[in-house]
Amino acid sequence: MRVSQRLAFYTLVGVLMLTGQVASSQTSTPFPHARTVEDGEVWMSWDNSRRTGYVEGYIAASAKAREGGCEDAFRICSEELRLRKSHDPIGECYNSGDRYGKAAFAYVGAITDFYQRYRDDRGIPLPQLMYFLSDSKNETLEEIHVWYLSVLARAKQK
């Protein structure tokens, strides 16, 4: 199995594991798609191999989506972009967006530490945590926690 196929497989397995988890009670998370079990509870129930598979799949899928999006945008806008020879639009596109330059174990450790340290924040969806941990955001665990408190406060005001 090629590396890209293996990573796509890990992505699919991670998504299936997340969507396959069922709980008997509703949660009070402000995220509308988290209707049953909180992502943090699912994460904490996984062993390290599943966590690593999820992160590797997420990173691979993120890179593949950026690549495909940039290629599609370039095809759609290629005439206009050819007229602007002063910059490299395809390179700019590839270099934008979320990047994950650390090894998977670094993200696995950060997510696990976050959910252990902030038990009440387990309602934060895993993709949201990955976004905050990306190279472009590079938020600390404390900063993510403070952000979540602000989300909860806004949700209570509504």
**CA–CA dist 58, 147 (Å, integer):** 22
Q: What is the C-alpha separation between 153 and 158, in angstroms, rounded?
A: 9
Give residue 79's identity as a one-letter amino acid code: E
pLDDT at 27 over 70: no
pLDDT at 23: 39
- Give the pLDDT confidence of 96-151 residue by residue, as tens digits: 777 899 999 999 999 999 999 999 999 999 999 999 999 989 999 999 999 999 99
CA distance 99 to 107: 12
Domain tally for the chain?
1
pLDDT band at 26 (very low <50, low <70, confident <90, very high): very low
DSSP string for 110-149: HHHHHHHH-GGGTTS-HHHHHHHHSTTT---HHHHHHHHH
Average model confidence (pLDDT) across the chain:
80
Q: What tens digit of pLDDT does each residue of 95-110 get?
A: 777 789 999 999 999 9
97: left (phi over 0), alpha (psi -120 to 50) or beta: left
User: pLDDT higher for 114 or 15?
Assistant: 114
CB atoms within 10 A of CB 91: 10
Q: Is the pLDDT higher at 69 or at 150?
A: 150
For residue 24, name the pLDDT band (cuts at 50, 70, 90): very low
Which residues form the domain of 70? 3-157
Eight-state DSSP code of residue 37: S
